[in-house]
Structure formats: structure tokens, C-alpha cells
Amino acid sequence: MSDACCSLLSAAPESEEREWTLSDYESALARWCPGCGDHAILTAVQRLLEAEQLPPEQTMFVSGIGCASRFPHYLSTYGFHGIHGRALPIATGMKLRRPDLNVFVVMGDGDCCSIGAAHWIHAIRYNPDMVALMLDNGVYGLTKNQTSPTSPKGMPSNTQPRGAFLPPMNPISTTLGVTNASFVAQTGDWLPAHLYATLQAAFRHHGFSFVRILQRCPQYTTAIYDVAVRDPNLVELMVHPDGVVVPELDRIIKNKVPHDPADLDEARRLAEPDGKIRLGVFYRNETHPVYEETRAVPARSASEKLALLGAELDRYAV
């Protein structure tokens, strides 16, 4: 058992007041490539955990497979490193059984939009109260440069050396098109203030919060966001009191568009590509029923569970 797990199991009683600092959420040294946007995202997540004072033993990070899936290893909380594309059903099961937990799901673009696409669509529809982070670098990076569903058209890779021949999937438009979409936002790893504010808004939303994080890969996809990093005029911020407002960026990013996240039709229009990288909250709706509240599992003792199991097995006795 790791030292991190031991520290969680020996946590102080609930009656004792506790305060956590940033170091309480830090774990192993992150081993992503130098310059990888995942480092900035990890820092923002740790800042969020400290700001919200989330007890490490009541916080769960679930991941699939890919560079982003290393996330649970670098946080001193509970974590589940799952299999490719299956992070969302695993997390939904956890939330059903333990609705008191703070559940975060971390996926890459291939993990979420390819092999995990069906689970992604149904997680949006189910609307469990959790935060889903899709770290989108437009490539399968861990397996060394294959075209992913969000790779830009024409971008060469090891699987399509002459360039991706299909237009990239738009994860924001896809999410907004699913029944029961609850919270949909987009941010970028190179704008730490906006990244943090978006994560905080997502966590405080009651329902399924989907956040696409545009993430730079220094090995394979530097060209995707490099121009926008160097030229802030290519970025447009959606601003509204019910969205994300980051005054620190006023002098850096001049392009802003007022957008009420309650307006689904306008959110869908803004999600369509038009040459701008649009960041902020596209849509927010807390009126949808939350999955674990409608499918609550009754609390039962061990003896009651055994009795129910015995009764079920007796039905098949010959």
C-alpha cells in the first residue's frame, strides 16, 4: 500500500477541524514531457482542490488510457486508472454507490471521443454530478503520434502520413447536441487564470460538467495552438456573470463576446468553428435531474445484502 493511501486511511476524524494546503494534494513527480500542457492543468486542479478544501479521502480521480490518464498518479487523493475509454462508466458507478464523493474524470481526446464515445454521450444524458475534463491535444500522444478524432484535417501522423483526411470532430458541438447537456465549457492550458476559473465553475455546478481543455503537445502537435498562444487576437472570451469572467486577462485578450450560458441556441452557434478559439462557458443548466439522485441506491447492512442475495439465488433453485 502506498504512503498516500496510508495517509488517507489514517485521516483525522470528521469532528476534528482540518485544513489542507497545496502540498496535501501533491503526489509523485509528474513525468509528462517538458512543455506538456498537462503540467499546467495538474497545477490548476491542485489549486482548485485547495481552494475548495476537498478532503483527499473523499475525492476521486478516474482516468482511462493515454497521457492524460496519468493524472490520478500525481494527486494525493483516491484514484482509479481504468482502461481505454471506460473512465466515465467507472466514475458513474462510483457516484451511484458513493454520491458523497467528489468525482473527477480525466480523459484525452482519443480516450473520450473514439473508443469512449458511447460512454461520453450517455454520461451527458445521465447527468451525474461530476466533473469531466477532456484534455484535447489532437493526437494519440502516448502511443506515439496517431491521428485522433480531433486531429486537424491535413495534419500528418504515423497512421495518416499524408495528413488526416476527415474534418475533426467538434467535442463542444457534440456535447451541446445531447439531451440533458448540463454544463459545457472550453478553456486552454496556456491561460492559467482562465483555466482555473473554468475548473472552479465546473466543480460548483450541480450536474455533469464537461470541460474541454485545449492542451499543447510539445512532441507532436505544437502547431495546433502555437499561433493562438503567440497571437491573443485569435482567442475570444465568452463573458457573462453566470459564466467565467477573468479580469486578469482584460489587457491580454481584447476579443470578448457577451454570452448568456442559459441560451442553448446561441451556445450551439458559438461552438461552430469560425477562425476564433472561443473560451468560456457555452451552456449551463441546473434544472436537469441528477442521475444518482434519481437512481439512489438504498443503504443496507451486510446481513441485509446477504439475505437479498440468498433470496435471489433461491429463485433459481431446482
- For the stretch 33-51, pLDDT in tens is 999 999 999 999 999 999 9
pLDDT on residue 17: 82
Candidate from 38-52, 57-71, 148-162, 181-195 with smallest mean pLDDT: 148-162
Q: Which three cell numbers stand for residue 156?
A: 500528418
pTM of the full structure: 0.89
- Under CATH, to which class is 3-314 assigned? alpha beta
pLDDT on residue 275: 87
pLDDT on residue 16: 67
Confidence at 123, pLDDT banded by 50, 70, 90: very high
Contacts of 11 (CB under 8 A, 6+ apart): 55, 56, 57
pLDDT on residue 133: 98
The residues that bridge with 278 in the sheet, in sequence order, are 236
Contacts of 155 (CB under 8 A, 6+ apart): 138, 139, 147, 163, 164, 221, 223, 224
The SS3 of residue 53 is coil
pLDDT on residue 143: 84
What percentage of residues in the chain have a pLDDT greater than 90? 80
CB 71 within 8 A of CB 142: no
Decide if pLDDT at 5 tops 80.
no
Q: Which residue has the higher pLDDT, 300 or 130?
A: 130
pLDDT digits (tens, 9 = 90+) for 78-100: 999 999 999 999 999 999 999 99
The neighbour count for residue 31, using CB atoms within 10 Å, is 10
Contacts of 255 (CB under 8 A, 6+ apart): 232, 233, 235, 236, 237, 276
Question: What's the burial of 224, exposed, middle or buried (CB within 10 Å: 0-12/13-18/19+)?
Answer: buried
The residues that bridge with 239 in the sheet, in sequence order, are 258
Cα 180 to Cα 295: distance, rounded to the nearest angstrom: 16
Q: Which three cell numbers stand for residue 5?
A: 493511501
Confidence at 222, pLDDT banded by 50, 70, 90: confident
Decide if pLDDT at 184 tops 80.
yes
Tell me the mean pLDDT in the region 135-139.
94
Cα 231 to Cα 218: distance, rounded to the nearest angstrom: 18
Cα 49 to Cα 42: distance, rounded to the nearest angstrom: 11
The SS3 of residue 317 is coil
In the chain, where the domains are located: 3-314
pLDDT digits (tens, 9 = 90+) for 251-306: 999 999 999 999 999 999 999 999 899 999 999 999 999 999 998 767 788 999 89
Confidence at 15, pLDDT banded by 50, 70, 90: low
CB 92 within 8 A of CB 101: no
Q: What is the mean pLDDT of the chain?
A: 92
| Full strand arrangement of the beta sheet holding 277-284 | 78-81, 59-63, 102-108, 130-136, 208-214, 183-188, 277-284, 235-239, 256-258
Tell me the mean pLDDT in the region 17-35.
93
pLDDT on residue 9: 46
